Each structure stands twice: as C-alpha cells, then as structure tokens.
Amino acid sequence: MSNRLFQGIVHQMRDCIDRVIGVVDDSATIISCSDLTKIGETSEFFTLDAGDANEVFVRDGYTYKPFGSKMKPEFAVFVEGVDEPAAKYCNLLAISLSSIKQYYDEKYDRNNFIKNVILDNILPGDIYVKARELHFNTDSTRVVLLIRIVASNDISAFDVIQNLFPDKQKDFVFNISESDIVLVKETKQGIESKDLEKLARSIVDTLGSEFYTKVVVGIGTSIVGVKDLARSFKEAQVALEVGKVFDTEKAIVSYDNLGIARLIYQLPTTLCDMFLREVFKKGSIESLDHETLFTIQKFFENNLNVSETSRKLFVHRNTLVYRLEKIKKLTGLDLREFDHAIIFKVALMVKKYLTANPVKY
C-alpha cells in the first residue's frame, strides 16, 4: 500500500522538481519513482541501517534522506544530484511523505484495532495501551451495527456504506465475512433506540432503492469507551439471530427492543422442551391447524377482545367463542383468561425458537 501511496505523491511532484525523485525501502529497492523504468531496481551501494539513521547522505550521484521509524528508518527519499538544492528537496520530500505515511498508517491501524476489539482478538489490558498509541478517543459514545447482505447486485455494499459514513476519524466500516459488514458509529450521548433505527433505515433504504441490494441490520446497545464494543457487536449478532426467528419480516432489529424473545433465545433448549411438555398435553400443539393458529394470532393482536377479534376476522362472535372452546379442549388453556393467554403466547414463541434452531452467540 505504501508503494501506491508514495507513487501518487511522487507523480504529482515530478513537474515541480525538474529532477529524478523517488523512494527506496529498507532493502534499498526503488518502490516509487518519477522515472517509472527505475522502479524495482536495487542499489548495491548502501543500506538504510548504515550510518546516521535520519541524516541526509549522498551515494552514486543521488542525495538520500531516510524517514519512518526513529529507531530504524523504513524508507528513504532520493533526489538526483549531490548539490544543496538536492538536499533541500530531499528534506522537504521526507517531511511530506513521512507525515502522509503516519496519517495513513494511523487510519489503517485504527480500523484494524477496532476490528480486533469487537472480535475479541486483543487482550483487555492491551486495549487502552493501543488506543493511546493511535490517539483513539476512548470517551466517545459508540454503537455497533451489523449489516447482513441477504440478496445483492454486483454493487459493493461495503463501498456504499463507506460512502454513507465518510468520516474515517469517527466511524469505522469493515467486512467480517462475505455477507456481514460492521459499522462502528460514533453517536451523541443518550441517543435513543428510535434514532439508531432511523440511521439503520437510511442504510437499508439506500442499498435497496438505489442499488437493489437487500440487507438486514442488527443494532447493539450504545456504549461509552472501547472495551464494551465487543459486547455491542455480540448484541447486534443476537438481534439478527432473534429477528430471524421471531421477526422474519423486519429489516431492522434492535437488541433493546427484543423483549421476551431475547429471554427465550438465552434459554437452554432442554429447558424449553421441558416447558412445552408441561404446558401442552402430548401432541396438543401439533393438532392446531393453520386456521386455528391464525385465529389465536388475531385474538392476541386485539388484546383478547372477543368482539373486536370476531369483527376483524369477519366471523360471528359465537363462531370465535366455539374456536376458543375447541382450543381449550385440545390444550387445556382458556385464552380468554390472561394468565393462560400469556403461557400460550410464550409457548408458541418457544416452539418457534426450537424449530428455528438459531446460532448462539
């Protein structure tokens, strides 16, 4: 990457400096040069670790100025000639290229640092040490969004998201798999869940309407600092998995709004099996047909109100009562009673969870 970075600068400066200019690496190989034919050549006359580390020196008709690490220079800029202007050009180029490299490395390392933090690839004790090295703001409020590509066009969703969040000092975007993109977004302190969902909606809508790419977004909780970014990421993963089971139609799932589904997701499957066996008579839940399950769903949606549910279903009130009696006979639960309705609702969710067998994080 340094080669391309340096070559771009050298190319822009070649018209300002009417001499051959370029950069060599620590093996004295030319990695960028205004004379493209020289790239790849290696000098046999010097190595960068010889002599004074960061002093200007002259070899074979060229003036060199090392730059990079203070302990051991990684590169040296060179200018054709051994006169005073050559030395001045060298010093100016070394300052420019060193600053540009430092900025690039810091930006690149920050992205890698954040990626390692959320994937738990860095020891907790090393997090703040590394954050200080990279001048990383550890007091900001951030949230992790996990964007999963469900169906895509040829367009790069990663590039689109990077363009949506161009501030590389505050927001970080990276891939963790072919279909999963992570956005670590700096936010205002005390930001509400609805505002985060609005942010996620802008991502879903932009990718969907403009680039024909369907995505779902899981949102973790807002955290202050760096260490808890891994927790926010895991929450975003859980949000997507729970959403896949209980909210299949939703494109945006927030960990904060998972409710009872989050509790069920965290239960061991053996406990769930035991619960279903206790609640239902053997095979009673399987005996409920599609029409009956639809009736139950509408009954719950209308707050256990028989009159309102029958109106919405376009059936006579007595027909609905008959169906509810049938359910009571099959399962032993009267859905008109609040406690029974709660047990039945949870049991249906547990059944759905066991059938889906989601990935655990």
Which pLDDT tens digit goes with each residue over 198-234?
A: 999 999 999 999 889 999 999 999 999 899 999 999 9
- In contact, 191 and 144? CB cutoff 8 Å: no
- State residue 210's pLDDT score: 86
Residues facing residue 143 across a β-bridge = 185
Average pLDDT, integer, range 81-96: 93
Paired residues of 67 in beta bridges: 75
Above 80 in pLDDT, residue 46? no
CA-closest candidate to residue 24, choices 75, 68, 65: 75
pLDDT digits (tens, 9 = 90+) for 140-179: 999 999 999 998 777 789 999 999 998 878 899 999 998 9
pLDDT > 60? residue 70: no
Average pLDDT over residues 51-80: 82
pLDDT at residue number 53? 59
Q: What is the pLDDT of residue 154?
A: 74
Residue 15 or residue 202, greater confidence = 202
Residue 260, pLDDT > 70, answer: yes
- What's the pLDDT score for residue 73? 80
pLDDT band at 360 (very low <50, low <70, confident <90, very high): confident
Predicted local distance difference test score (pLDDT) of residue 151: 87
Of 120, 103, 25, nearest in space to 67 by CA: 25
pLDDT score of 54: 72
Q: How far apart are CA 209 and CA 338, in angstroms?
A: 43
Q: What confidence tens digit (pLDDT) does each residue in 94-134 have?
A: 999 988 887 777 666 788 899 999 999 989 888 988 888 78
Q: CA-to-CA distance for 345 and 348, rounded, in angstroms?
A: 5
Which residues, at least 6 apart from 218, have a Cβ–Cβ distance to it below 8 Å?
145, 146, 148, 235, 236, 237, 238, 239, 240, 243, 253, 254, 255
pLDDT higher than threshold 60 for residue 50: no
What is 102-156 written as a DSSP string? HHHHHHHHHHHHHHHHHTT-S-HHHHHHHHHHTT--SSSEEEEEEEEEEE--SS-
Contacts of 313 (CB under 8 A, 6+ apart): 295, 298, 320
pLDDT in tens, 300-351: 999 999 999 999 999 999 999 999 999 998 888 999 999 999 999 999 999 9
Return the ∠ at Cα 287 (arms to 281 and 293), rounded to 5°. 110
